[in-house]
Each structure stands twice: as C-alpha cells, then as structure tokens.
Amino acid sequence: MLIFTDEHLKRAGIKSLSKWCSYCSKPLAEYPLIMNDDAGLAVFHAACAAALATDLIVDLYTFFRPPKPYQQLFVLDPTGEHQAPSS
Ligand SMILES: [Zn+2]
C-alpha cells in the first residue's frame, strides 16, 4: 500500500510519522511510504522498499541459480517436466 498523505497513514493504522522504517530503522518522517501487511505490519520509506525488493530479487535469483560449486536445489517448473540435478 502506497502512503502519500496523513489520511492514507491514518487508514493504514499508523498513528504518526514518528514510527520507524522497518528496513533502515530511521523515523518515517515524510511521504511517500510503502506499507506491507503480508507478514505483519511493516512500513518503509519508498527508497527502502525498493532496496528491500531488490535484495529479495537478488536473493531469490541466487536461491534458484546458486553460484558454483553449489548445486541448484529447486526449479520453478509448474508443468513438472524438468527436475533439479541430483547430487
Ligand atoms: Zn527506511
């Protein structure tokens, strides 16, 4: 959820901008903010949300395509046609 105004902040259940960013731990202080309520309530500076999303994408890429000498453990394959290499 994108938070641009005091009204958005109020509707998101955040009482004030003095709360802390869940990523950098600095005060939220100003808009825009991004809230993620999928796994608990987390509010981020917009730049911190972008940094977190980038970190997650990089981590997921490494998870599915690990560097040598690690072997691939999981394959995204909704059809079930491919299998991960066995060790
Ligand atoms: Zn932050």
**CB burial readout 17-37, b (16+ within 10 A) else e:** eeeebbbeeeebeeeebbbee
pLDDT score for 85: 62
* Cα-to-centroid distance, 83 and ligand 1 (Å): 40
* Cα-to-centroid distance, 5 and ligand 1 (Å): 17
pLDDT score for 28: 93
pLDDT score for 87: 57
* Cα-to-centroid distance, 70 and ligand 1 (Å): 33
Compute the distance between CA of residue 3 and CA of residue 34 in angstroms, rounded to an integer. 6
pLDDT score for 48: 95
* Cα-to-centroid distance, 17 and ligand 1 (Å): 12
pLDDT by 10-residue block (mean), the chain, 87 residues: 90 89 94 84 92 89 83 76 66
Look at the pTM and tell me if it is higher than 0.85.
no
pLDDT score for 5: 92
- Token code pair at residue 28: 């939220």
pLDDT score for 39: 67
